[in-house]
Each structure stands twice: as C-alpha cells, then as structure tokens.
Amino acid sequence: MAIGVNPAEQPELAGQGAARLRAAVARRQGERVPPRLSKPGQILAEAEVSRRVLLLAELHAAFTALGVRCVLSRKHRLVLRYEAGLCGPSGPLDPHLHIFTDGGTEVATTDGAVYSLASGGQYPVDDPKAVAAKLTSDRNGS
C-alpha cells in the first residue's frame, strides 16, 4: 500500500477506505487527525449544496473583508461501477470553507442553520460578519 501498511499484519485497518486508513495510521503515529464535519460520502441534493455554498460564500466574504484568506471547495463523489452494489451513488458532497489565519487553519461547513468547525465550534448562520470577527480574534489570540 502507498502508506506502508499491510492489512494482513494489521487486521484492524483492513477493509477501510483510503481516507480512513490514512487517519488510522496517522493516529497510530501520534499525529492530530481533525474530526469529520459530516457523514463520509453523504450525497446531497444539488439544491442543498447550492444553499450551503451560498452560506459559506457569505462567511468567505466576511473573512475576506477582515483580510483573512479562505478557499471554498466543493467535492463530487464519482462511482464508476454503481451496479456492483459495493459503493453508494455518485453525487455532490458537503462543501467546505478552508480558513487560513495566523493562528492556524480551520475548516467550516454548514447544515443551513449553523456553521460547524472542524475544531468543534458551532455558530449560527444569521450573522457571518460576527462569526468571522469572533473566529479571527479567537484564532489570532486578540
């Protein structure tokens, strides 16, 4: 395997997807692995993804106004052999906003009601400017 793990020697890692395998190996080596923001591989309706992207874009704009660099990313799961029954369907996944501050990197997502952070915090989507100001001051130690 690419990361040097033999599932026959470590059966607790066998049968896991690549991301789960990398996370398990990282934990074993003492590295910090951020928590998942949503269920892995959860396919969303395009309208729901668009709504979430719009909310994250508002948060992105609030961070940009404060001089904080952010990147909004979308993912699309592609399953080539759906009829085999081993994998779920193809479709859009939960979008993420990657926030780069002097205090470190944070990842935000939303369910439409709150912004959820990989570090565990949750903030209402009502006022993205206030959320950006709070997170920027918290991350920069101000």
77-114 pLDDT, tens per residue? 887 766 666 667 788 889 999 999 888 899 999 999 99
Task: For residues 127 and 94, state if they share a domain.
Answer: yes
The verdict on residue 27 lying in a domain is yes
Tell me: do 91 and 61 sit in the same domain.
yes
Structural domain tally of the chain? 2
Domain annotation covers residue 39 = no
Backbone angles phi, psi at 3, to 5 degrees: -100, 10
Tell me: do 12 and 60 sit in the same domain. Answer: no
Predicted confidence band at 123 (pLDDT cuts at 50, 70, 90)? very high
Cβ-in-10-Å burial (0-12, 13-18, 19+) of 72 comes to middle
Give the model's pLDDT for residue 106.
94
Check residue 16 and give its pLDDT: 45
20 shares its domain with 80? no
Give me the mean pLDDT over the 2-17 stretch: 47
51 shares a domain with 10: no
Q: Would you state the pLDDT for residue 18? A: 53
pLDDT band at 38 (very low <50, low <70, confident <90, very high): very low
Q: How confident is the model at residue 43 (pLDDT cuts 50, 70, 90)?
A: confident
| Residue 61 and residue 89 in one domain | yes
**For residue 67, what are the domain limits?**
46-140
108 and 84 in a common domain: yes
How large is the average pLDDT for residues 42-53? 91
**Do residues 88 and 53 share a domain?**
yes
Structure tokens belonging to residue 119: 């570090």
Q: Which 3-state string (H, E, C) describes the chain?
A: CCCCCCCCCCHHHCCCCHHHHHHHHHHHCCCCCCCCCCCCCCCCCHHHHHHHHHHHHHHHHHHHHCCCEEEEECCEECCCCHHHCCCCCCEECCCEEEEEECCEEEEEEECCCEEEECCCCEEECCCHHHHHHHHHHHHHCC
- Asked if residue 39 lies in contact with residue 3, where contact means CB atoms within 8 angstroms, the answer is no
Tell whether 83 and 109 lie within a shared domain. Answer: yes
**Residues 19 and 72 grouped into a single domain:** no
Entry field: residues in the chain: 142
> For the chain, what percent of residues have pLDDT higher than 70?
63
Could you identify the residue written with the tokens 């997170």? 135
Same structural domain, 26 and 61: no
Question: Can you give the pLDDT at residue 21?
Answer: 57
What pTM does this model have? 0.67
Per-residue confidence (pLDDT) for residue 142, from 0 to 100:
55
Is 86 part of a structural domain of the chain? yes
Q: What is the sign, positive or negative, of the torsion defined by CA atoms of 20, 22, 24, 30?
A: negative
6 and 52 both lie in a single domain: no
